Structure 1
């Protein structure tokens, strides 16, 4: 049994897991597919987490052992999994901000998603694990968590049927948001990015218009598409500070900006008068909640999210470093990378 352990930038070691002993309310999972998330890439490239650590949290797998007190699952079940669990009772949870709960980031799967086998603690078994239907693949099951993150963001904004949406960033999250927005409410979905391959993917998966942000003026193109009105909703899905300034230029009166990507802790100048004069709102969204997993699974069951068109590369667990290097290269034709225990 192996795991891919992150020690430093470009330094991963393929190591033995050692013995994983489960408690009476836990399960042991064989990882079948684990998605490579943008946060995994950021952590590995910038070394923003304590090391050594096993990254990975977009997990789908097969249960190989169940604790004596586990009654809802059995050996052989195919399940999806998420990595954080709120307490459901603190101030933040009572206000519906589950991802801000102090317990949320204190919980995790053991040792992490990029491991052949994973111990699933009691709270995760109870709140963040669910059965994958027979007609849903493991790769699709591994997408439940990132789809849930997107749904959490949409839950925090006010949208109306026929709204126009600008999504800044055509990475894996931006492409998910494109498909969800088009399904839920959007009249026109506009996607901006600098990568032509990803912009083509955006068009393939539901975008009505794309803007190559390094060659075109985003504000001018948005005004052209919307007849000068601007967009009702802007979703920032790339952690680049000036995109907030750009979003303020593109959002219409009464519109909303959803900040879905982490910015560096540095000042950003925006026209504050618009909050009062135009009733513009800015909302932030972090991670997912346990209430978003089943709706995410439903989107997969209905074929709203086309995972097969999003996955561009698959790597064995032993080549996690190479997978991250590829995914981080903005000039490569890569969108969603999946990690498998042994690879095909």
Structure 2
């Protein structure tokens, strides 16, 4: 079978590899669509992983083979899945911190989403894999995994009706989070981003305000929009560590700052720490998803409770992964979500 194999930043090869063998509790799917995640782009561009490796985890596909002990799925069914499974039985899992589980990152799809065929291991079959309706096209199905990630982050945000929410960064995670915030009851949703294209798309998706922080004073604009109170929730969805400082400055008393982005460069920042005690603000990190968000994400995407269709701006064939990553990583391009398609 074919796969796009990452060796280094400028060396991604579309090549033949062995099709994985499945075990008794596994299933094999033919990849139909796989989203190009911001983490995939970051890994490839910043070479934070060692090749050869096959990236990709936002997977939607068709079951083509099942293990002899699999009774839940049949050949020909349409499914989505995700990447990591917790053990449900450790110190962290017992307390609901499933993504902190030691097993979590050790579990994976084989060989990765950017391949023609993918083995879904038994644990993933049991806890992370779900059917999708025939009416849902493959590209939107590939958006279910990032929607689930955002749902996981919003659990910590504890959004109430009529809350105001600022999302810093208008990439896929930012715009999904912004729409979900509105779906959860927020009456005022603000995004900030340097990209004109992404700000305009945010407004098209129904976001109330879109701020260019290079041309407007973000803190002043947030103060104006919220009548001087600050926002109830800030979601950081861009890998710029200085945003933490700004987030602390614009969140209201008792508000919450949700950090949903890695900070590889200059991760040490200064904040007004007195606000933690005096104003009871919270700064909370969030990572990935748990099995409990997948079903909700499927319902949201299938019933079009948020608009993921207009977020998908480009598709690329599996054979052109390098070009897709280069295009998506270039800030000069009008691009949001790229979907990689298997060759027919």
Query: What is the DSSP-based 3-state SS (H/G/I as helix, E as strand, rest coil) of the residue aligned with 1:190?
Result: strand
Determine the C-alpha separation between the residues in 2 that align with 1:258 and 1:43.
23
The ranges of structure 1 where at least 4 consecutive aligned residues each deviate by more than 2 angstroms after the TM superposition are none
Structure 2 residues without counterparts, runs of 5 or longer: none
Q: Deviations over 1:89-121 (max 9, x none)?
A: 001111111111110000001000000101111
Determine the C-alpha separation between the residues in 2 that align with 1:239 and 1:164.
22
Shift of 1:249: 1.2
Query: What is the DSSP-based 3-state SS (H/G/I as helix, E as strand, rest coil) of the residue aligned with 1:50?
Result: coil
Shift of 1:6: 0.2
Which residue in 1 is equivalent to 2:299? 298
Shift of 1:203: 0.6
Which residue in 2 is equivalent to 1:185? 185
Q: Deviations over 1:174-206 (max 9, x none)?
A: 010111111111110000000000001111112
Q: Residues 100-249 of structure 1 correspond to what in structure 2 (within 5 A)?
A: 100-249=100-249
Which residue in 1 is equivalent to 2:25? 25
Determine the C-alpha separation between the residues in 2 that align with 1:342 and 1:19.
15
Shift of 1:20: 2.0
Q: Deviations over 1:110-141 (max 9, x none)?
A: 00000010111111111111001112111121
Contact 2:20 2:111 in 1 (8 A): no
Query: What is the DSSP-based 3-state SS (H/G/I as helix, E as strand, rest coil) of the residue aligned with 1:298?
Result: helix
Alignment pair present for 1:338 and 2:325: no
Determine the C-alpha separation between the residues in 2 that align with 1:267 and 1:141.
37
Determine the C-alpha separation between the residues in 2 that align with 1:297 and 1:70.
22
Contact 2:245 2:271 in 1 (8 A): yes
Shift of 1:302: 2.1
Question: TM-score, normalized by length of structure 1?
Answer: 0.98
Total equivalences in the alignment: 343
Contact 2:159 2:181 in 1 (8 A): no
Contact 1:2 1:116 in 2 (8 A): yes
Shift of 1:308: 1.6
Which residue in 2 is equivalent to 1:59? 59
Determine the C-alpha separation between the residues in 1 that align with 2:173 and 2:238.
9
Which residue in 1 is equivalent to 2:313? 312
Query: What is the DSSP-based 3-state SS (H/G/I as helix, E as strand, rest coil) of the residue aligned with 1:297?
Result: helix
Determine the C-alpha separation between the residues in 2 that align with 1:157 and 1:225.
20
